[in-house]
């Protein structure tokens, strides 16, 4: 049985707590402590789960031993909280995005390397059945050469959403719709399309009173020569409309849509394959755009800890999206295309 501590008891923590309660029933994992500077939030989780509540991360980590720290704090704090876990030899499981500052993510990677602990980043959409099926088709070479990979994230976040917490929409702790809402889609595009060579973007803050963007159009050039784009906005009227990924290749076309990559809308290849029979069953209908992926993600993490699987989403993997997002923001600021180095300082 692996023990988990939880940092940050806000909105997304519910997915982690639900998942850990499910895994506890199976005897696989247990939540032993949680912390939040807002004491009522930590107490509510403690009452539900029987774990110990804390107001400070440091005192929680000092007083309660756990195998893994699950980090659900504001995005700009993730790397420092990964480091806090690593210093104590505790594995870190960070919510997406890995961070808002590439240098801080590099320091977190180095800290985990130095202590030999795992650094996992949550990108639960990779575990959607539709996405996993697409990935299998890609790995089987069914697309041939890739030509174009594009993603639309047409979601809605009213001003109220930003008023709920002061970190939202700030450059330091959040970023805008690309860094927050679309970061899963940035990950999808780079996971499917491979290494990105350069990025060019226009962004705007058209309607929300926030520091960062509420709308962005990003163009990508992949090292393979393929092109791509990500269009993201939080201004869709009147509600979330689309979270999609389209891949156009030499011998295949796939589009996964729905509000959050939950429905295969196009699945065409030049040659049939037994996996085509799985397309219908891969469609799901999640109640929220967070989807169903946290449970399968935690199962994957437990398999890695047991030595039964290779980690799919490490700090280095999460860093790739952070670098693309940072490049898009730099391009939007400067009006120039920005090259992606793809090297983190710990790998030099």
Ligand X SMILES: NC(=O)c1ccc[n+]([C@@H]2O[C@H](COP(=O)([O-])OP(=O)(O)OC[C@H]3O[C@@H](n4cnc5c(N)ncnc54)[C@H](O)[C@@H]3O)[C@@H](O)[C@H]2O)c1
Which residues of this chain interact with ligand X, rule CB under 6 A? 7-12, 35-38, 41, 57, 72-75, 77, 95-96, 122, 124, 165, 180, 290
Phi, psi of 254 (to 5 degrees): -135, 135
In the bound state with ligand X, the residue whose beta carbon lies nearer, of 173 and 222, is 173
Is 298:23 a contact under the CB 8 Å cutoff?
yes
What is the smallest separation between the CB atom of 326 and ligand X, expressed in angstroms? 16
Tokens of 247: 């891949």
What is the smallest separation between the CB atom of 75 and ligand X, expressed in angstroms? 4
Beta-carbon neighbour count of residue 160 at 10 Å?
Answer: 7
CA distance 292 to 260: 11
In the bound state with ligand X, the residue whose beta carbon lies nearer, of 248 and 325, is 325
Is 259:289 a contact under the CB 8 Å cutoff?
yes
In the bound state with ligand X, the residue whose beta carbon lies nearer, of 13 and 200, is 13
Beta-carbon neighbour count of residue 311 at 10 Å?
Answer: 17
What is the smallest separation between the CB atom of 100 and ligand X, expressed in angstroms? 9
What is the smallest separation between the CB atom of 8 and ligand X, expressed in angstroms? 3
In the bound state with ligand X, the residue whose beta carbon lies nearer, of 170 and 344, is 170
In the bound state with ligand X, the residue whose beta carbon lies nearer, of 124 and 246, is 124
> Residue 58, SS3?
helix
Q: Any idea what DSSP says for residue 174? A: T
Is 247:194 a contact under the CB 8 Å cutoff?
no
What is the smallest separation between the CB atom of 287 and ligand X, expressed in angstroms? 13
What is the smallest separation between the CB atom of 13 and ligand X, expressed in angstroms? 6
Beta strands in 87-223 (DSSP E): 91-94, 119-121, 146-154, 196-204, 215-222
In the bound state with ligand X, the residue whose beta carbon lies nearer, of 72 and 111, is 72
What is the smallest separation between the CB atom of 38 and ligand X, expressed in angstroms? 5
User: Which residues sit opposite 5 in a β-bridge?
Assistant: 33, 69
DSSP conformation letters of 111-136 = HHHHHT--EEE--GGGGSHHHHHHHH
In the bound state with ligand X, the residue whose beta carbon lies nearer, of 7 and 282, is 7
């Amino acid at each position: 049985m692996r023990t988990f501590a939880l940092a940050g008891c806000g909105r997304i923590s519910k997915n982690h707590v639900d998942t850990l309660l499910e895994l506890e029933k199976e005897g696989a994992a247990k939540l032993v402590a949680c912390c939040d500077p807002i004491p009522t939030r930590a107490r509510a989780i403690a009452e539900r789960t029987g774990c110990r509540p804390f107001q400070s991360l440091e005192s929680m980590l000092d007083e309660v031993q756990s195998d893994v720290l699950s980090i659900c704090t504001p995005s700009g704090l993730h790397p420092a909280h990964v480091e806090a876990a690593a210093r104590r030899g505790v594995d870190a499981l960070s919510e997406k995005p890995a961070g808002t500052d590439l240098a801080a993510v590099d320091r977190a990677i180095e800290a985990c390397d130095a202590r030999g602990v795992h650094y996992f980043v949550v990108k639960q959409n990779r575990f959607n059945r539709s996405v996993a099926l697409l990935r299998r088709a890609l790995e089987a070479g069914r697309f041939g050469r890739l030509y174009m990979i594009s993603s639309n994230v047409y979601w809605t976040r009213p001003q109220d959403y930003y008023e709920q917490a002061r970190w939202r929409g700030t450059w330091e702790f959040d970023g805008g719709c690309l860094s927050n809402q679309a970061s899963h889609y940035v990950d999808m595009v780079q996971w499917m399309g491979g290494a990105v060579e350069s990025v060019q973007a226009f962004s705007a803050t058209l309607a929300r009173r926030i520091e960062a963007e509420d709308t962005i159009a990003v163009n990508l050039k992949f090292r393979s020569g393929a092109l791509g784009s990500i269009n993201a906005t939080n201004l869709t009227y009147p509600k979330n409309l689309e979270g999609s990924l389209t891949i156009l290749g030499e011998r295949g076309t796939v589009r996964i849509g729905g509000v959050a990559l939950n429905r295969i809308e196009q699945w065409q290849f030049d040659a049939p394959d037994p996996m085509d029979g799985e397309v219908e069953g891969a469609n799901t209908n999640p109640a929220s755009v967070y989807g169903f992926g946290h449970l399968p993600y935690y199962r994957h993490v437990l398999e890695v800890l047991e030595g039964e699987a290779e980690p799919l989403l490490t700090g280095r993997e999460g860093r790739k999206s952070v670098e693309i997002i940072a490049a898009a923001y730099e391009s939007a600021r400067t009006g120039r295309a920005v090259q992606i180095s793809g090297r983190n300082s710990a790998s030099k």
